[in-house]
Amino acid sequence: MKPETATPFNPDGFFDAKIFEWLTDDERLQVLRSGFRKQLFAGCILFRQGEPALNCYLVNSGQLKITQLNDTGKEVIMRYVGAGELTGAVAVLRDRDYPVTAETVEETDSIGWDKRTMVQIIRQYPDMAIRMLTTVLDRLDEVQHRYLELCSERVEQRIARTLLRLMQRAGQKTADGIWINIPLSRQSIADYAGTTLFTASRTLSGWEKNNWIKSGKERIVVVNPHALVLLAENA
Amino acid sequence: MKPETATPFNPDGFFDAKIFEWLTDDERLQVLRSGFRKQLFAGCILFRQGEPALNCYLVNSGQLKITQLNDTGKEVIMRYVGAGELTGAVAVLRDRDYPVTAETVEETDSIGWDKRTMVQIIRQYPDMAIRMLTTVLDRLDEVQHRYLELCSERVEQRIARTLLRLMQRAGQKTADGIWINIPLSRQSIADYAGTTLFTASRTLSGWEKNNWIKSGKERIVVVNPHALVLLAENA
DNA sequence: CGCTCTATTGATAAACCTCAAATACAGTGG
DNA sequence: CCACTGTATTTGAGGTTTATCAATAGAGCG
């Protein structure tokens, strides 16, 4: 049911990860070789909220959905993680459980390191820690900003921002407009924007009538990004 | 109007900062001496959202309020920063503006480092970066958790959580109950919980009638923490 | 073609915000 | 000591946003 493989590392195609760009080719190779490769199809869990944090992962291709659940089962999407991005580092450097769940939303190729190895890498390359730090700080900034948005903006604005963010992350030009290349249900959009499936559906239906977007099943094409930007910016 | 002093560093009383506890006394002294002391009264701004990030600060005594503003002027309280805690490190390690504002809410004694010095410290003590990283990760965890709460919980629950958090941070036992030793207006509670002054006031009035809290002007005493915990936990 | 999962749409209600107005409180200066 | 002033807080009425629930339609898949 969950086809997956974990193999000795083969570094092909991993060379463009931003977090390693400042290493020499040899160093980078060494770092990459110290990990293990993991290739998964859509719907697989890389790690689950509440489990002890054993590994962190670098995504080579595909997308991960990072979610958080509360006691009542309500799910929130914290972010998507795509090619060249690291995840799980949060948890690995502490003896804590993962605070979030990482799930593939499409076929995904990644490399993982266990806690011990990761700490070794950091000790060997102190600048690595600074790099990771800035990465985490970016993430903190983004969550803080989304927190502010959630406090101060109406649903429609937040959904607009959600589409714009996802567009920037996974947008691809097509004849119609910019296609968000992630399987994206109304529920997911709602979980990302902090609203309900129904409100998200209503809002997108409206935009489709305005011809700002085109959408199919789990599929969104942004036809008029400018309109969404206006919506997001202008209170 | 803004009485403040910046003096050559005198390390008295700074020895218990957790972030330095793993250094030897000599090392710690050296690190502390490389900073500058800053003593401020209530209502002073240490740094402001949007300004270039020049310094980071360690609080020795007092409390800082870390806030974020949006374009329309809506303010959100991200967190409070108390004795032994570092702030501004977020911004200092990048060439970015401060993403938030830090304001003293009471008389506050702190030590600051400029960007160059901080980077030097980190290069000299690589473990320092790991320490800072875990600190930031804790903060990320907390913001993410509050984000989830904001998405999934009702105002009353969030206000309960707010009081409980502040109680843990600055609570002091008194005859009546646990006094939150921070000047704390209804507006601040609202900004922290993500609601309005009026809703916060109404909610607290209700709790006062139940005898769960006692409150005066900018002053809260939690009489029955258990009731608040129940409110926060039980959907 | 039927099954399942996703999306749409309408009606209803609850939660919460907005605004207005009154009241309490702390400090200040006479 | 008291009136005065500015801020903090309370409370009410009314309206908006958005969630909830139910029922239906559509799309993809074997």
| pLDDT tens for chain B, residues 1 to 235 | 334 455 555 666 666 788 888 888 889 889 999 999 999 989 999 999 999 999 999 999 999 999 999 888 899 999 999 999 999 987 787 888 999 999 999 999 999 999 999 989 988 987 887 788 788 888 999 999 999 999 999 999 999 999 999 999 999 999 999 999 999 999 999 999 999 999 999 999 999 999 999 999 999 999 999 999 999 998 6
Q: Where on strand D do bases come within 7 A of a protein Cβ?
A: 8-13, 17-22, 26-28
Dist CA A184 CA A217 (whole Å): 8
CB atoms under 10 Å from CB of B55, counted, come to: 22
- As a whole number, mean pLDDT of residues A75-91 equals 91
Beta bridge pairs of residue A47? A102
For the cut 80, the answer to whether the pLDDT of residue A1 exceeds it is no
Question: What is the distance in angstroms measured between the alpha-carbon CA of B208 and the sugar C1' of D15?
Answer: 28
Model pLDDT for residues A29-57, shown as the tens digit of each residue = 899 999 999 999 899 999 999 999 999 99
| Nearest-angstrom CA–CA distance, A214 and A220 | 6
**Which residues does B164 contact at the CB level (< 8 Å), separation at least 6?**
B222, B225, B228, B229, B232
| Å: B202 CA to C9 C1' | 36
Q: Whole-number mean pLDDT of chain A?
A: 90
Q: Please name the nucleotide lying closest to B215, CA to C1'.
A: D9
B12's tokens: 């008295």
A75 vs B137 pLDDT, higher one:
A75
Query: A234 vs chain B: nearest CA distance in angstroms?
Result: 9
Task: Name the minimum distance, in Å, from the CA of A174 to any CA of chain B.
Answer: 33
Closest by alpha carbon to A14, among A83, A81, A113, A103?
Answer: A83
Are residues A194 and B90, on separate chains, in Cβ contact within 8 Å? no
Within 7 Å of a protein beta carbon, the nucleotides of strand C are 6-11, 15-20, 25-26
Q: Which residues contact B138 (CB under 8 A, 6 or more apart)?
A: none
Supply A147's token pair. Answer: 């927190």
Contact residues, chain B to chain A, C-beta under 8 Å: 68, 70-72, 74, 76, 78, 90-91, 93-94, 99-100, 122-123, 126, 129-130, 132-134, 136-137, 139-141, 143-153, 194, 233, 235
Helix (H) or strand (E) holding B171: strand B171-173
Helix residue spans in A93-224 (DSSP H) = 115-124, 126-152, 155-170, 186-193, 197-209
Cα separation, B151 vs B147, whole angstroms: 6
pLDDT band at A94 (very low <50, low <70, confident <90, very high): confident
Give, in Å, how far the C1' of D26 lies from the CA of A103.
28
Residues of A in contact with B132 (CB under 8 A): 133
Contact A137 B233 (CB under 8 A): no
Task: Identify the pLDDT of residue A3.
Answer: 41
Give pLDDT, residue B6.
59
Quote the pLDDT of residue B7. 59
Section A67-92 average pLDDT: 90
What proportions of chain A, in percent to the nearest 5, are helix, strand and coil? Answer: 40, 25, 30
Report the residue of chain B nearest A66, measured CA to CA: B144
CA distance A135 to chain B (A): 10
pLDDT level of residue A5 (50, 70, 90 thresholds): low
Exposed/middle/buried for residue B5 (C-beta within 10 Å: 0-12, 13-18, 19+): exposed
Give the separation between CA A144 and CA B78, rounded to whole angstroms. 8
Higher pLDDT, A119 or A9: A119
Q: What is the pLDDT of residue A7?
A: 58
Closest Cβ opposite residue B152 in set A74, A100, A132 = A74
User: A208 CA, D13 C1': separation in Å?
Assistant: 38
Q: pTM here? A: 0.91
d(CA B20, CA B34): 14
